[in-house]
Structure 1
Amino acid sequence: MEQNNKSKEKRQAWLIGIIVVLTLTNLILLYLFVQRNKDVNQQAVVIEEYKEEINQTSAKLDSISQELDKRIEEAKALNQDYEALLKVKEQLERDKEQLKNANARMLREYEAKIKAYEELLIAKDKELEKWREIANELNEEVVETKKEKMKLVDSISSVQKEKQKLEQTLAQAAILKAENIRILAINSRGREREDDVYRARQIDKLKIVFNLAENKAAKPGTRQIYLRLIEPSGAVLVGPDGGRFQDAQQQNLNYTTIKQVMYDQNSQEVSIIYDKGSEYREGTHVVELYCEGHLIGRGSFVVK
């Protein structure tokens, strides 16, 4: 009898052990299942966010394309040259097609492209504004005055076309030039100051402003402007957006920061803001601007 009781207790102990093992196994499997579902859900969220970003970028490009179409039609109506705008439109269509296969890095580049396109639209609006004003004035004048002013517009247009032909004939190279380079200091309160000599505490950020000169020999389209900030020691500051590029002599050069612009063959103002994040050393600092491997402008300022 006593032996039967012991056997019965052993069987109960085995059953309890098996139940505990099965329970632990089920708990582990449940945890792994929940964790796997969590990872899958996180991946799904990332994919949806990526798709949404592509859709938003595509929508912005479509909007810019529609605005370009309007500028082209308006330039035609005002009897103005619109060939440069057509080439920009072709570049935009290529960007839209490449967006379909864009990765995360390329999406960041599209932000700069979109900003450059928007800046071009603003610049083109300023150019067309004077022709809109003339057209409005003509619509308000009597028939005879209207005819005289139309002749004047035609004459100005003819002079511009002749001037463009002369510039294309005289152009020796397509190298862009940076003119009227200005170096401004921005303090911690956001106030700008322009001088040749600054105290280190006056500089929280630098603002470099210049004009890309008109050049009918250069093809319109996206340009990358490399800024090199050279310290008194001769070393080039390499900022968070800096890196290396090859110049026209195939030399690898460090650069401080980069600015992407949409160039349309006309004179346009460009500004680059650089935040070093620390105090500038005493002495003469040199600013160099490069485009397509060529030095297109240089300026300097002194810190004391």
Structure 2
Amino acid sequence: MATETPEKDSNRKLLVVGLIIVLLSINGILIYMQQQKTQENEEQKEIIKVKSTELENQIKVFETLKADFERQSKELQSMGLTNDSLETRIAAINADLAQLRSFRNGSFSLADQKRFKDRAAGLESALKRKDEEIAKLQEANEELHTQNTDLRTTQNKLSDSITTLATDNQALSDKVALASKLEAQNVRVTILNNRGKEKDDDDLEFKAKQVDKIKIMFNLAKNEVAPKESKEIQMRLIEPDGSPLYNLAMGSGTFEHEGKEVFYTAKRDIVFDNTQQQVTFLYSKGAAYKTGKHTIELYSGGYLIGTATFTLK
């Protein structure tokens, strides 16, 4: 067996060393490439994470914008106002949100990010301007509400004053009416028989069947408050049983006294002249009178102004 020379042994060592160096270099290259790939993967993951965070932030921004524009719409509605442009903007934001959410399953590029950021900035500016406009409207509305409240208060006070004045006027009118009511003085009753013979209060001995007519005379007292004008005087001839004589054919009728409808026997229209003028009623029943105490009641303007009685036997 031939012995290897030192030269060959040296060459073999050099070859082994070279091979080891090549292998180490290749391994180093592979390790470097793996590190680069790992780094790229990490960077890609970080990019995806950043994009996802940016996307979610943009979605939140647009959701907040939508809520603010809906708030503005409600504030306008509370003042009785509508704004079609707000409704259109809200619909557009809904479309933007739908598009942004679709990027969760796709690529959210830098161009998309810039586009939506610019749109959000424009919407925020519009939101701010609309808030300022609504604030002015609310201020004007509050001022108008205050003015209306003051006006209603004034109207209520005026209404109360008018009511009080009307009440006072009515009370004054009632006092004037009461003060100006007529008064029958010296009421006298005489009896006429069918022959025209007359007997007065001091000589009422006629039998009821002999009476043909009843004559009532009185004077109207002086009254400086009562106006000189036409007056209507009603006479009630009340029989012993409490029933007033009433015959439409003989001029009877009704009038109001203390809120009730009252029957009268006869009436006279006179012109009050404040001279203590005399007024006369001459009444014929047209049938036999009842025996007993009869009552005469005289009224004018709804007031009882005089009474008298007489008795028939």
Shorter-chain TM-score: what band?
0.3 to 0.5
Q: Which has the larger radius of gyration?
A: 2
TM, length-normalised to structure 2: 0.41
Q: Which has the higher contact order (CA 8 A, sep 6+)?
A: 1
